Amino acid sequence: MDSLLPFMLEDSRAARSLPYHFRNAYGVAALPYLEKAVAEAKSEATRREAKKELNILKTRTNVEQDESTVPSKGAPSASSDVR
């Protein structure tokens, strides 16, 4: 990712598509790179795409965390008193 970041930050038409590929290929590991693109990309379109991909990644990560904390059906919850 370090070698691709300069291409995402430059002002080119190709830079606009890189935020999607960063999120799709690297998942949560792409967060700091997408945040840097939002702050430092020369192209407004690239900053907009990076922000969109950050929102998707953060929403998806929050949903996954929420699902992992919900007990499965039939399983006793932590608050149930089993004796």
Q: Give the tens place of pLDDT for each residue, 23-75.
A: 999 999 999 999 999 999 999 999 999 999 999 998 887 756 666 665 555 55
User: CA 7 → CA 1, 3, 32, distances in Å?
Assistant: 10, 8, 15
Rounded-to-integer distance, Cα 74 and Cα 49, Å: 42
Rounded-to-integer distance, Cα 48 and Cα 3, Å: 21
Output the six-digit token pair for 4: 């691709």
Q: Which residues contact 78 (CB under 8 A, 6 or more apart)?
A: 71
Domain ranges, ordered by start, for the chain = 5-67
